[in-house]
Amino acid sequence: MLDDKDPAGYSYLTYVWVVVIAILGGLVRFINKEENIRNFSYIKILVDLITAMFTGVLTFWLCESLNIHGAIAAFLIAIGGSMGNRAWREFERIFKNKLGMNDDQS
């Protein structure tokens, strides 16, 4: 069951480690794509890292709501950061399933 925790109730230090882990996940993904290295763009890396950061923070909030803490939460935050936009599609699929909607309904 989801718990209603206030996102503003966490310390800055907590958010710093969440953002760092998420950005590292996004950076790992970025450098492992050969096309990103061949055609390096500061805009592309900036967009990827901002997406990783935001996805990591949302993953953190989801983990907190589900009472997932510590190393497992850090692992999921890094995975969320590395997935970037793909994580959004998965989150959407999970919530549609939870609401009883199939992929044809939006």
User: What integer pLDDT is reported at residue 28 of this predicted model?
Assistant: 94
Q: Write out the residue range of the structural domain in which residue 36 sits.
A: 11-98
Give the C-alpha separation, 22 to 72, whole Å.
Answer: 13
User: What integer pLDDT is reported at residue 1 of this predicted model?
Assistant: 43
User: What integer pLDDT is reported at residue 18 of this predicted model?
Assistant: 96
Q: Is residue 23 part of a domain?
A: yes
Q: Is residue 104 part of a domain?
A: no
Digit-coded pLDDT (tens) for 57-74: 999 998 998 899 999 999
User: What integer pLDDT is reported at residue 96 of this predicted model?
Assistant: 87
Element (H, E) at 89: helix 85-98
Query: Total domain count for the chain?
Result: 1
pTM for the structure as a whole: 0.79
Q: Is residue 2 part of a domain?
A: no
Q: Is residue 4 part of a domain?
A: no
| Ranges of residues in the chain whose predicted pLDDT is under 50 | 1-3
Q: Is residue 17 part of a domain?
A: yes
